[in-house]
A = this chain, B = another copy of it.
Amino acid sequence: MSTPGRFAPQDLHFEERIRASFARQKAMALIGASLGPVAAGRVEVRLPFRDELTQQKGYVHGGIVGMIADTACGYAAYSLMPASASLVTVEYKINILSPGRGDLAARGEVVKSGRSLTVARAEVYAGDVHVASMQQTLMMLADTPDSVE
């Protein structure tokens, strides 16, 4: 799945654009997530473990695992879009493979980048443990600002 360079970005400033967009996501600040490496079609989101992210059994809440996987997929898709576009999540499906213990990293990657729809996947890891797998559909909104209107 990871042939380097198989995605051709339309906007060479995609990394700057993604980092600025991520910084506008207050929900990412709330959970303490940060952006890791950003490449064309591939983005990592990191989440250090914090007690306030847990569910009733002390693991990171499955919905929070979904949040970082959703965000990693979204920015992987966004990296291939023109600078004037924004995007929305159409839907996603996530399998929780192991309890989320410790620091998490969600690695999103584009599977197919179409004219309006993009399909992406993310894998969430806690160290070597495979915590979750997501498959997601996103839709590009042409000529729409990626900020509060």
Q: Which A residues form the contact surface with B (CB < 8 A)?
A: 1, 21-22, 24-31, 51-58, 60-64, 66-71, 86, 88-99, 111-112, 114, 116-117, 119, 121, 130, 133, 135, 137, 139, 146-149
Q: Do A111 and B97 have beta carbons less than 8 Å apart?
A: yes
Q: Do B61 and A25 have beta carbons less than 8 Å apart?
A: yes
Interchain CB contact (< 8 A) of A117 among B26, B61, B90, B114: B90
In the complex, A29→B54 CA distance in Å?
10
CB distance from A85 to the nearest CB of B (A): 13
Interchain CB contact (< 8 A) of A63 among B21, B56, B70: B70
In the complex, A22→B69 CA distance in Å?
24
Which residues of B have CB within 8 Å of A57? 86, 146-149
Which residues of B have CB within 8 Å of A70? 61-63, 66
CB distance from A58 to the nearest CB of B (A): 4
CB distance from A24 to the nearest CB of B (A): 4
Question: Which residue on chain B has the smallest CB distance to residue A119?
Answer: B95
Which residues of B have CB within 8 Å of A94? 91-93
Which residues of B have CB within 8 Å of A98? 112
Question: Which residue on chain B has the smallest CB distance to residue A134?
Answer: B135
